[in-house]
Structure 1
Amino acid sequence: MKASTTLRIRITGPLRDFVARNVGKDGLFENASEYTRHLIRRDKEQVERRMFNTLKAEVQRAFATPDEEYVLVTREGLLERIHQRRAALARAASTSSIVEYRKSYSGELSLRLISRRGQHVGEQSEIALARGRLAPDQRDVA
């Protein structure tokens, strides 16, 4: 049996009026809770659909890649790439303060970097950092 969660939401003005038009005998929903559950389910489905479409596009791109472009990956090579990625992230963190990070729907981590002097360095994806693709002025920020 699933535990339920109670949410208390305060809405005023135009949002309250909009909900009122969609709830009750003239609306599509019996009550505000039913309407809220519907909106959450719809949002969840949209997020899942975006994630699925992203995955589907990646798989299609992988299958469309010619066999000659595939690279043999060994355990040792993979461990080395992981080590290089961690080292690149450590270098970026030592020259910049990572102020915020967020994960996209595709799972890629974006980092917002600020230099030690408080200047905005830029935003980099984890992949760009791992591959050492920082812009020249972002590599040597002190």
Structure 2
Amino acid sequence: MKPLKWPLILLCLWAGISEAASPTADWNTFTAWLGKAPSTRLVGQKSLLRQPAIQAALKQILPKAEQAALARFKAEAPVAEVEGLLIVDQCLPHNCPADMATVVIDPANQTVWAGFFTRAENRVSTRWYGMTDDYSVLPEVIRKGFLERHGD
């Protein structure tokens, strides 16, 4: 029985680590970031957008270039809640109205949307990505807030 002791212990540890890193986390725990910066690291947790479930969703819906852009957005507003949805607003420091993103997290349905806006010389671009439905299913206040952040 002793020769099986260590492999069983290692198997149990591996199973526990795999479960902790699983993207099937309890999405309702994400509300702990309400009123806090999304980059806040809560006790024993990564930042909100670095949570395994959120990371998996963003990798599923975003092209690599948009993933990289989102990682560069360091200026951020506190996480807000609108009609049960968590709103993460981020932008490129010193260029917020012209280079920004909004990530919308629906804990109840375990879905994510991400909207990007870029204004460059002779070019304006708005892009939305979602796990299930088009961004038009989002409450009007969220869509309107996204547009208002663009500035003049």
- Name the TM-score, length of structure 1 as normaliser: 0.27
Instruction: Specify the structure having the higher radius of gyration (Cα).
Output: 1
Question: Which structure shows the bigger proportion of residues in strand conformation?
Answer: 2
Question: Which structure shows the bigger proportion of residues in helix conformation?
Answer: 1
